[in-house]
Structure 1
Amino acid sequence: MRRGPRDRRRLLQVRGPGFIDHRGVIRQGGGGAMNFLAVMALPLLACLLLTLILPALGRHVLARGVIFVDLALAQIAALGQSVAFLLGAEPHDPSMYYWSFGFTLLGAALFSFLWDREHSVLQEAFIGISFALATAATLLLLANAPHGAEHVSGTLSGEALGWVTWKDIAIMATLFAIVGSFLFFSRKKLSLCSEDPKKARASGLSVKKWDFLFYAAFGLVVTSSVKVSGVLAVFSYLIVPIVCATLLGRRGPARLYWAWAIGLVVSILGGVFSYLRDWPMGATIVVLFGVTVAIVSLTVRMKYVDDGEDSARQEAA
């Protein structure tokens, strides 16, 4: 029987003098910190890569007002993975990437050319329908497949994050570098198309073309990210850090720097809790992101209330 990711055991909580590294090799350990780094170094490195690229994309997603496009594209990518899984592809088989990116590219084309962004309600509705359809199709495809339920669970919760390899890291770093370069050198045109499409058209830019390029670049990131960290973690890295930075009143480049810092701190805390409690790292990080945005929201809200009370006292005086 073909071995799946969950057929192998991964020791996240170390007991005794030895530990099992990411290749499943038993090694002798020193202190707890060394054991932690040996077991969690690659997952944390993957999280660092996600932190660097996804908030940069999240800025444009927020500006475009298509918050759930990430969930839709990520689930479409997961559908492509499921097709490859049914065809017998192994978890680290290159065909997983090809099928996933092919499906994501199709989704990018649909989101770019089917609806104008002026019809924001229709576009958001279409994105939601696409997510529901891709999810249902994935469930139907894997309903009777061996280990199908485990595959679905893994694509959502990011169980593969604990099994990331150097090959995965290399692929992610290469793809993210390509997308990062595209975002940097096209930042003015992309920002204009994201923030003010009417002005972009008036200046001679093809908004649909740049929308497609953005979604295609987004698809490159999602293709490798979903395979490693799961749909929910990708959405959290994309939206939560940049939302928190926005709530804290950061603007311009400072907003991205704060988003990177928030993503890095949550990633490290997620790795620590996952290691100590033997929890799935992807799900742990998603929960911590939820706690983070709740704390930031409450803090900002309390500050506004305090400022309002101070203003009222000054007016009364």
Structure 2
Amino acid sequence: MNWGAIDLGILGPGLVAGLLVLASHVPLGMQVLDRGIVFIDLAIAQIAGLGVIAADSLRLPEHGLAVQGAALVAALLGAGLLTWTERRLPEQQEALIGVLFVLAASVGLLLLASNPHGGEHLKDLLVGQILWVGTPQLLALAAVTAFLLLALALGWVRRLRFGFYAAFALAVTASVQLVGVYLVFTSLIVPALATLRSSGRTRLVLGYVIGAVGYAIGLALSAVLDLPSGPTVVCTLAAVAALAPLLQRRAS
């Protein structure tokens, strides 16, 4: 173990990115569980990723506005399609979300098949590059997060059918290139799942605490043990979430 590897200059921006992701993903994840469509985040994240892959195939500048625009347009198209299927085929919605995820993933793999760096691009899409976020990316994520929190506070996400899916499209597009598909899913579902027995503001606060502790410990362990940051945070967040109910029961 190398405790000297804990450098706030490197880990700090990653932690800030994680906290910004949690700010919008925790309340959205709770709504996902309430609606019973758990895999919507994976589907929308994969569709946004497909937009990134398509932009790369067109030789657009990496991490530029054009790539972000392609990811957002793809995610919004997916959100529109899911809004339509929820209205027409509500009983099959979860199955259709799964099919959409598989289709987006498969098309992405086909686009990457002839790319010599395809494996690297796929890895970045799945596990993200949270330790390499810069100030412009953090500011953009902060702006999107502020807008999403305002939309949640005003009830736009819960009241409007398309608003729910559009919020996901915007949240996922802003976060998937920074933290990857796996952490997007974990940030949405794990804190919400761990706090099912709580309600109201208490549940929201507990969800934020679980997420923040999971990110902080995971980033620190990834540095100390020289492990990939994304998968390490996923594992530690799951571990913290598993321990949280036990600690709650013992405290009460």
* TM-score for both structures, normalised by structure 1: 0.74
Residue 296 of structure 1 and its aligned partner are, at CA, apart by: 4.7
- Deviation string 1:91-142 (CA, Å, 9 cap, x unpaired) is 321111100000000000011112338733x100100000000000000000
Q: How far is the alpha carbon of 1:76 from its aligned partner?
A: 0.3
Partner of 1:178: 147
Return 5+ residue gaps in structure 1 as ranges.
Answer: 1-12, 15-31, 194-209, 304-317
- Greater RCO, CA 8 A, separation 6+: 2
Q: How far, CA to CA, are the matches of 1:259 and 1:273 in structure 2?
A: 21
Q: 1:43-54 counterparts in 2 under 5 A?
A: 43-54=14-25
Q: What amino acid does structure 1 have at the position aligned with 2:109?
A: L
Q: Find the counterpart in structure 2 of residue 263 from structure 1.
A: 211
Identical pairs, percent:
36
The one-letter code matched in structure 1 to 2:170 is L
Is 2:225 aligned against 1:250? no
Do structure 1's residue 230 and structure 2's residue 180 form an aligned pair? Answer: yes
The answer to whether structure 1 residue 55 and structure 2 residue 26 are counterparts is yes
Distance across 1 between alignment mates of 2:168 and 2:66 = 19
**Please, which of 124, 131, 136 is the counterpart of residue 94 of structure 2?**
124
> How much has 1:277 moved relative to structure 2?
1.4
Q: Secondary structure at the match of 2:38?
A: coil
Q: Which amino acid aligns with 2:138?
A: I
In 1, Cα distance between equivalents of 2:60 and 2:240: 37
> Matched residue of 1:230: which SS?
helix
The separation in 1 between residues aligned to 2:146 and 2:105, in whole angstroms, is 29
TM-score by length of 2: 0.92
Number of residues of Structure 1 aligned to a counterpart in Structure 2: 247
Letter in 2 for 1:163: W
* Whole-angstrom CA distance in 1 between matches of 2:97 and 2:220: 35
2: CA distance, partners of 1:157 / 1:216: 23
How many Å apart are 1:86 and its aligned residue?
Answer: 1.1
What is the aligned partner in structure 2 of residue 111 from structure 1? 82
CA contact (8 A) 2:213 2:240 kept: no
Unaligned runs of 5+ in 2: none
Per the alignment, in what secondary structure is the counterpart of residue 63 of structure 2? Answer: coil
The answer to whether residue 113 in structure 2 is matched with residue 143 in structure 1 is: yes
| Partner of residue 165 from structure 2, selected from 199, 202, 215 | 215
Counterpart of 1:128, as a letter, is G
RMSD: 2.0
Letter in 2 for 1:272: A
Work out whether residues 218 and 233 of structure 2, in 8 Å CA contact, stay in contact via their aligned partners in 1. Answer: yes
Cα separation, 1, equivalents of 2:131 and 2:74: 25
* Partners of 1:114 and 1:69 in 2: CA distance: 13
Q: Which amino acid aligns with 1:220?
A: L
The Cα shift of 1:211 comes to 1.8
Aligned to 2:103: 133
The structure with the largest alpha-carbon Rg is 1
What SS class does the counterpart of residue 86 from structure 2 fall into? coil
Which residue of structure 2 lines up, in the alignment, with residue 86 of structure 1? 57
